[in-house]
Structure 1
Amino acid sequence: MSGFIIGITGGVASGKSEVTRRFEALGVTVADADLAARVAVAPGSQGLAEVVEQFGRDVLAADGSLDRAAMRRHVFGDEAARRRLEAIVHPRVRAALREACLAAPGAYAIAAIPLLAEGGGREAYPWLSRILVVDVPTDVQRSRVMARDRVDAELAQRMIAAQATRDQRLAIADDVIVNSGTVDALDAHVAALDRRYRAIAAQRV
């Protein structure tokens, strides 16, 4: 068990998943915020009960699970509704990520948090030891979004603009991987950071 926890974040199509897969291949536990968010409102959960209490039963699918499309319609363009939903989901996600990381074996663990900058950064996650930002130039990011999602440049740019800016993410970074090259180039970056994190963790014992 280790209290040395790295938060990984990055914009859409920055390559966060490629980076976390490489850490996992080195034996590092990765707790995923997206998965934790789904668990937080799983059927039968207190989180889902609170969502229904706030938004009504029309956010449920026929099988009793959360109808994510209906939920998106509820909060789209409604800042107050979005904040109410986040007040239910985010504390549960933060708690689940921290618990999973603290219980992980090894020198350190990783919390993969796509919207870390948007979700309050260090203030919301004071238990993160370091923050690693997977960074790409905006033009590369836009090209990847267009190719991945088969959308035009205008929609890709809107998707990018809906998130924190590149500068906002870099402002909270302790470490940065610039992922503008091939995926194979990530191996050396991840291996170097793994060595650094293990060394830092060893000094903390």
Structure 2
Amino acid sequence: SGEPSSLNIPPRRLAEDLQRLLIEQILSDYTVVVEGTQGSQGEAIAAHKFLLAARCHFFAAASVTSGMQESRADYLVVPADESMTPEAFRTFLRFCYAGDNVLKVLVPHTAMYLIEAAGYYGLSNERLRSFCELSVKNSFNEEHVLDIFAASHSLKVEAVREMALQFIVTHFDRIGKQPGLEKLDKSLLIEILRRLADRGPKSQATPC
């Protein structure tokens, strides 16, 4: 018959096109100001109301559906005390715009900030939180997990703090010999000891 037996369908580009709106600031109408933490400089990030409202319950309430003061403004300020950095918020926005493409840039340090953000801003599913928890957990090792435990405590990221504590207790036969143990805050040391005691005498450390 001369007609092709199959069609060559081009790949989807929706995620890439939406991400380009963010990166190139095309027709942006909303600004998120992320204040700096611990002496770092803050940053104003351009975004789009319609997309944030579609992806996050927080922005839908603030920008569209309520009489909140934010609904009459074209910006949102993220205070320094909310444990967020400009780099981390850019990664959060990348997920909002392009979904799983965020995995190309997600690193453990940034992921630690975003675990709680997914719930705070009301993302419609738990994918970002799961990606972040996996990224952080896969970064654990005997040398650095004590630093992550201390940092997550300081940043009040409870999910990371608990994962780090479990890793420390499970592998304490080797982590207990790390010099970083002596630098931990006394309250964190006590928490490790109590968790070890809760495991009981029959508990054995699991190999890495």
TM-score range, shorter chain: under 0.3
TM-score normalised according to structure 2 size: 0.26
In our comparison, the structure showing a higher alpha carbon Rg is 2
Greater strand fraction, Structure 1 or Structure 2: 1
TM-score in terms of structure 1 length: 0.27
Q: With a CA cutoff of 8 Å and minimum separation of 6, indicate the structure with the bigger relative contact order.
A: 1
